[in-house]
Structure 1
Amino acid sequence: MQIPFKQYGSLLADYLKPQRGRVIGLAIALLSSIVLQIINPQILGYFIDTAVEGGSQQSLLGAAIAFTAIALLTQVFSVAATYLGETVAWSATNALRVDLAAHCLRLDLSFHKAHTPGELLERVDGDVNALSRFFSQLVIHVLGNGILLAGILTVLCFENRLAGLSLSAFAVVALSLLLGLRSLAISPWADYRQISAEFYGFIGEHVAGREDIRANGAVHYVLRRFYELLQRWLPVYQRARFASTVLWATSVGLFTIGNAIALAVSAYLWSQNAITLGTAYLIFHYTNLLAQPIERIREELEQLQQVEASIHRVREVLNVQSMLSNQGHCSLPMGALPVSFKQIWFSYETSKHQNPERAKFPAPQNWTLQDLSFYLPAGQVLGLLGRTGSGKSTIARLLLRLYDIQSGQIHLGGGAIAQVPLSELRQRVGLVTQDVQLFQATVRDNLTFFDPQIPDDTILQTLEDLGLAPWLRSLPNGLNTHLGSDSSGLSAGQAQLLALVRVFLKNPGLVILDEASSRLDPQTEALIEQAINKLLKDRTGIIIAHRLQTVHRADQILILEQGQVLEYGDRSTLANQPHSRFAQLLKTGIGVGEGG
């Protein structure tokens, strides 16, 4: 198997190129440390030979001072290399985290439905964190210790050819054996990273649903699954660690053999008067020093097992392509936008129906929308009714292009929606749901989605228009007050009004309301109804209604049943037709369900 810094050279180039200066400094510090490590034993060998031969104390003192100075300088370069290595590693991995997170956010919802938030967190943070050594210590230290190894063997050959050749043969055998054993451990570490991602995905999912789990008495069931996951995790971890232990045990045995070779060669050469005592010491010292690069390379290769698995998993995510094409170049007109659905067939199980021709013979249980057609003129409001699972929310997702249809045509603003750039589309289509997601950030950032270009005056005027000015004045730091992600400090009505402010600031041409005023007290609901009236003025609107009272402002009514049009027409006309489904609902006052 190829070594990652060869196989993934482009990954290194992309993330190390912006840090060219630091990388060069790291290389200089590391190479300087290597050179000094090779030179210092020579001084110690000279000191021993001089002392044995009865040399002057001045020569011995000079050698001792030089040895100490070089040892200290070696440590200085080692510290500098460590500092630069950590800086390079964190800078590169943080840049990779940003790219990976941005890539995940650009993918369509089918990807996110197939991967839990915890699993993606492990990919973006856990796997990337394992690559920190790949960007600094792994590559630089493998190369650096390779140079140190070559330097030691070269010096040994100059000191004595027999010693140099003997230890060179030992080093080749040792490295070959370690490289051969390395490949045996890659698969166990890949399995370990995968089950680790599953574990964090499980934790994230069930911690988020802790209230429902406790309320429905499912704690014991969740704990049983938790224990089962841990029982699967342990043997996988043990296999991965055993593979690493094999490398460690092999390296320890090899160092023992290396020391034995060095002692045997030194004893033989000494008996033949071929070397001095200082040279004998040098051979043994260099042999011990030889263990350092071999052991370091072994450690890096052990990390390499995990790094290869992490690189594979990171690249696996980066290679996932969104099913949504973003090649559009048509702009939407300003103002209210007309909406047109023509013979729309859509299924969340896209892999089962790739050929649009199959829409002529659909399997009803697989299609969320079936042959759906309607036209909503600019500036009018559509009331969307239907039972749970009828496809109401799916229409909103398609208009935001969170998914693409399998067959048919969707037009927005007079042109095909697929020809509109996603960034512009989602700026010109506003969605307000019952569940408002707030961020752990300031009020301003929560309202503008971190867009600094929206002036404060515009935000304040919008808050004033929606009746939120008294609430804003009650905050200690106004727009700079920090909010919690759990909507702490806000009532449900205030959170809904903040969601409406977000849409106002976007100034969309199409507004989609997913029963934004439900589950609120009458006074707050009345306030939100006033805000909705302002929001829908001079804009096209779609109201996904769960209660009949909310469609009183609609111009058209569309009732869905299992993804098909059950009834569609002008609201007043349908209300005055006694046999229409809408008139019967108004007469009985029965709700129409939720979701879809």
Structure 2
Amino acid sequence: MSYARKSVGGFEKQQDDTLRKRKKGSVDSYIIRRLLSYIMPFKGLLAAAVVVTIAGAVLGPLRPYMTKLAIDNYIIPGDIRGLTAISLMLFAVILLDGVKQYTATYLTQLIGQRAVLNLRMDIFRHLQKLSVRFYDRNPIGRLITRTTNDVEALNEMLSSGLVTIIGDLLQLVFIVVLMFMIDWHLTCIVLAVLPFVIYITMSFKSRVRVAFQDVRTHLARLNTFIQEHISGMNIVQLFDRQSSELCKHMDINREYRDANIRTVLYFSIYYPLVELISSVAAGLVIWYSGVRMLKGDITLGVVVSFVQYIWLFFRPLQHLSDKFNIMQTALASSDRVFKLLEEKDVMEEPESPVAISSLKHDIVFDHVWFAYNAENWVIRDMSFRVKRGEKVAIVGATGSGKTTIINVLSKLYPVSRGSVRIDGVDITSIPEHSLRRLIGVVMQDVFLFSGTIRENLAFGKPGVSDEEIHEAARIVGADRFIDRLPGRYDYRVRENGSGLSAGQKQLLAFVRALLYNPDILVLDEATSSVDTETEGLIDAATARLMKNRTSITIAHRLSTVQHADTIIVMHKGVIKETGSHQQLLAAKGLYYKLYLLQHPEKIHESPGAQA
């Protein structure tokens, strides 16, 4: 099995399963209704485009008819004046047709661009509402494909598809009507081949739809693979995995190529068949017209106009097949886009929200259980209390559930059992914007956005003044390295802080948290990746940041938590010990063992000396 097949995610499988469950014919109609909902806000522009298209649909079919009149009524009789008049009329028709095409194209493109703008906004708005669990199980590359390539496919259809199809269909109707007016025998010959075109088109539709879905699926896999490997290229190179990863990329790329070739194959068969049928129709018309001309039963103008009508008749059919290509691409893409918009894995807003402006009393974890997957418990029956203004530290081995406490407190994940309360209010009843305003988190892995230092520092507090930013940077000690950067606070940060050291990014995170000014400060391994000098700066900044503020510190280095009011020691999701640094050392339990592992030189000292 290739890497591409093994990397199919739950999101893709869920979409394909849902598609199969829908009744036959319901998929396209559902998608078209959703697409129309993005066009309806521009009913005025749409109506204008439709009116222009309908009014101009007769202009093209008029030209062969006017050619017939010119030949039969003016050229053969030798009427120069009449020929000049109808030639001027024909020129006016051609000119009006050009104006119609320009106006219709501009209006449809305007509608499409505005509709796609709203769609992109809806997608990004919805992505911001989706829970962290959704992003845990869906690769970033796949989501980027949904929001870029798939939406761009919709853009082409909304901009040039629907209204143009209406124009082509109306043009076909006018062509048939004028052909019947000129000669119904020849018209029947042309229409006799139409069932073959319809049959070929329907067979083509059933196959190309599946092919386009495969193309989108393999494109998503390709984008996912490339995004992951560009982000982790240093790991690929450090482990010398270039050759093996190139083979994996070859598998994915080959499947994407094959999916595209299948669509090319279908179109390479479809277009020549339609061309062949139109040529057969033209041949039959010319043969039958020749026979009738020998009998004097038909005029030269009728024959010439019908030859023109044959090519004009099959041109809209070919246009429709081109639009059908666009439609199939768009339907395959829009099905995935709308499935993303229908994703229900969001953090529900409380039915009876209780807004909290500040922490007045305490934070309580009451018999909390939590599991990321099924009942693989990460936190087990956890209960503790953090009083307002208290400094609490949480320590324990990797995987003991320390960071999960922060995820639950921030409501990034809902608790499985028990409750978390702030000032007696369950956090499920607190609106997210109110809860997040209370809590400021400094993570171990700091994320910085592309932009200036100033923009990153002010991320949590838009509109903050330069004076406040400079003062916060001075307090934390970040101003020392910022002043050395080209442009200082206008220095452009590259993707995720590339070009800055881990310690510098950590200092910027502290400045950002200080400007955010939360009631509850959470430090998640905030000094684990900094050197001793930077750690000293951060320790000094942390002391100022924690002053008169409730704080929860997660740490591996026990030296950073010795001054906490309460230290919670965790092991495998369970609280094993609670107390101050001195109390836990005196108890000689798990904390005492962890302390000796980090400070073996203290092994012969008394607990009192260790302090």
Larger CA deviation: 261-270 vs 182-191: 261-270
**Is residue 39 from structure 1 mapped to residue 62 from structure 2 by the alignment?**
yes
1:497-512 → structure 2 map (5 Å cutoff): 497-512=507-522
1:345-364 → structure 2 map (5 Å cutoff): 345-349=369-373, 352-353=374-375
- Give TM-score scaled by structure 1 length: 0.90
Residues 263 and 424 (structure 1), Cα distance of their counterparts in 2 relative to 1, 3 Å cut = farther
Given that residues 278 and 314 in structure 2 are in contact (C-alpha distance below 8 angstroms), is that contact kept between their aligned partners in structure 1?
A: yes
**Is residue 395 from structure 1 mapped to residue 383 from structure 2 by the alignment?**
no
Extract unaligned runs of 5+ from structure 2.
Answer: 1-23, 601-611
In 2, the alpha carbon distance for the partners of 1:18 and 1:482 equals 39
Give the secondary-structure state (helix, strand or coil) at the position aligned to 1:576.
Answer: helix
**Is residue 187 from structure 1 mapped to residue 210 from structure 2 by the alignment?**
yes
Query: What is the match of residue 244 of structure 1?
Result: 267
- Within the candidate set 328, 331, 338, 2:362 is matched to 338
In 1, the alpha carbon distance for the partners of 2:549 and 2:80 equals 96
Post-superposition shift, 1:551?
0.6
Q: CA RMSD in A?
A: 2.5
Extract unaligned runs of 5+ from structure 1.
Answer: 354-365, 592-596
1:413-428 → structure 2 map (5 Å cutoff): 413-428=423-438
In 1, the alpha carbon distance for the partners of 2:58 and 2:465 equals 59
Q: How many residues align?
A: 576
Query: What is the match of residue 559 of structure 2?
Result: 549
Give the secondary-structure state (helix, strand or coil) at the position aligned to 2:173.
Answer: helix
Post-superposition shift, 1:190?
0.9
In 2, the alpha carbon distance for the partners of 1:399 and 1:528 equals 24
Query: What is the match of residue 345 of structure 2?
Result: 322
Residues 17 and 534 (structure 1), Cα distance of their counterparts in 2 relative to 1, 3 Å cut = farther
- Within the candidate set 567, 570, 585, 2:594 is matched to 585
Given that residues 336 and 379 in structure 1 are in contact (C-alpha distance below 8 angstroms), is that contact kept between their aligned partners in structure 2?
A: no
In 2, the alpha carbon distance for the partners of 1:450 and 1:563 equals 31
1:96-107 → structure 2 map (5 Å cutoff): 96-107=119-130
Post-superposition shift, 1:416?
0.6
- Describe the superposition over 1:302-325 as per-residue Cα deviations: whole angstroms up to 9, x where unpaired: 222222211211122111112522
Given that residues 359 and 438 in structure 2 are in contact (C-alpha distance below 8 angstroms), is that contact kept between their aligned partners in structure 1?
A: no
Give the secondary-structure state (helix, strand or coil) at the position aligned to 2:511.
Answer: helix
- Within the candidate set 558, 573, 576, 1:563 is matched to 573
Post-superposition shift, 1:548?
0.8
Query: What is the match of residue 543 of structure 2?
Result: 533
- Describe the superposition over 1:131-169 as per-residue Cα deviations: whole angstroms up to 9, x where unpaired: 123213221122211111111111111112223344344
- Describe the superposition over 1:490-526 as per-residue Cα deviations: whole angstroms up to 9, x where unpaired: 4433322221222223222221111212332333222
Post-superposition shift, 1:174?
2.0
In 1, the alpha carbon distance for the partners of 2:256 and 2:31 equals 29
- Within the candidate set 237, 258, 263, 1:214 is matched to 237
1:420-459 → structure 2 map (5 Å cutoff): 420-449=430-459, 452-459=462-469
Post-superposition shift, 1:251?
1.8
- One-letter amino acid matched to 1:408: G
Residues 311 and 459 (structure 1), Cα distance of their counterparts in 2 relative to 1, 3 Å cut = same
- Within the candidate set 180, 183, 201, 1:160 is matched to 183
Query: What is the match of residue 280 of structure 1?
Result: 303
Given that residues 567 and 579 in structure 2 are in contact (C-alpha distance below 8 angstroms), is that contact kept between their aligned partners in structure 1?
A: yes
Query: What is the match of residue 306 of structure 1?
Result: 329
Given that residues 369 and 418 in structure 2 are in contact (C-alpha distance below 8 angstroms), is that contact kept between their aligned partners in structure 1?
A: yes
Residues 276 and 528 (structure 1), Cα distance of their counterparts in 2 relative to 1, 3 Å cut = same
- One-letter amino acid matched to 1:569: G
Residues 590 and 410 (structure 1), Cα distance of their counterparts in 2 relative to 1, 3 Å cut = farther
Given that residues 437 and 518 in structure 2 are in contact (C-alpha distance below 8 angstroms), is that contact kept between their aligned partners in structure 1?
A: yes
Residues 451 and 124 (structure 1), Cα distance of their counterparts in 2 relative to 1, 3 Å cut = farther
In 2, the alpha carbon distance for the partners of 1:143 and 1:259 equals 26
Give the secondary-structure state (helix, strand or coil) at the position aligned to 1:566.
Answer: strand
Post-superposition shift, 1:335?
4.0
In 1, the alpha carbon distance for the partners of 2:31 and 2:529 equals 53
Given that residues 337 and 510 in structure 1 are in contact (C-alpha distance below 8 angstroms), is that contact kept between their aligned partners in structure 2?
A: no
Post-superposition shift, 1:122?
0.8
- Within the candidate set 150, 155, 170, 2:193 is matched to 170
Post-superposition shift, 1:545?
0.3
Residues 179 and 137 (structure 1), Cα distance of their counterparts in 2 relative to 1, 3 Å cut = farther
Given that residues 158 and 164 in structure 1 are in contact (C-alpha distance below 8 angstroms), is that contact kept between their aligned partners in structure 2?
A: no
Query: What is the match of residue 513 of structure 1?
Result: 523
Give the secondary-structure state (helix, strand or coil) at the position aligned to 1:390.
Answer: coil
Query: What is the match of residue 90 of structure 2?
Result: 67
Residues 337 and 167 (structure 1), Cα distance of their counterparts in 2 relative to 1, 3 Å cut = farther
1:22-33 → structure 2 map (5 Å cutoff): 22-33=45-56
- One-letter amino acid matched to 1:409: S
1:469-488 → structure 2 map (5 Å cutoff): 469=479, 479-488=489-498
Give the secondary-structure state (helix, strand or coil) at the position aligned to 2:35.
Answer: helix
Larger CA deviation: 68-77 vs 211-220: 68-77
- Describe the superposition over 1:70-117 as per-residue Cα deviations: whole angstroms up to 9, x where unpaired: 223322322333333333333322322222122223211221121111
- Give TM-score scaled by structure 2 length: 0.87
Query: What is the match of residue 361 of structure 1?
Result: none
In 2, the alpha carbon distance for the partners of 1:243 and 1:450 equals 53
In 2, the alpha carbon distance for the partners of 1:270 and 1:34 equals 31
Post-superposition shift, 1:489?
5.5
Post-superposition shift, 1:250?
2.8
Larger CA deviation: 546-555 vs 565-574: 565-574
Query: What is the match of residue 19 of structure 2?
Result: none
Larger CA deviation: 386-395 vs 472-481: 472-481
- One-letter amino acid matched to 2:546: L
Larger CA deviation: 450-459 vs 180-189: 450-459
Given that residues 189 and 305 in structure 1 are in contact (C-alpha distance below 8 angstroms), is that contact kept between their aligned partners in structure 2?
A: yes
Given that residues 442 and 481 in structure 1 are in contact (C-alpha distance below 8 angstroms), is that contact kept between their aligned partners in structure 2?
A: yes
- One-letter amino acid matched to 2:175: I
Larger CA deviation: 77-86 vs 496-505: 77-86
- Within the candidate set 111, 116, 135, 2:158 is matched to 135
**Is residue 384 from structure 1 mapped to residue 407 from structure 2 by the alignment?**
no
Residues 217 and 413 (structure 1), Cα distance of their counterparts in 2 relative to 1, 3 Å cut = farther
- Within the candidate set 473, 476, 484, 1:466 is matched to 476
Query: What is the match of residue 370 of structure 1?
Result: 380
Given that residues 211 and 263 in structure 2 are in contact (C-alpha distance below 8 angstroms), is that contact kept between their aligned partners in structure 1?
A: yes
Post-superposition shift, 1:469?
4.4
Query: What is the match of residue 109 of structure 1?
Result: 132
Post-superposition shift, 1:120?
0.9
Residues 55 and 497 (structure 1), Cα distance of their counterparts in 2 relative to 1, 3 Å cut = same
In 2, the alpha carbon distance for the partners of 1:445 and 1:265 equals 77
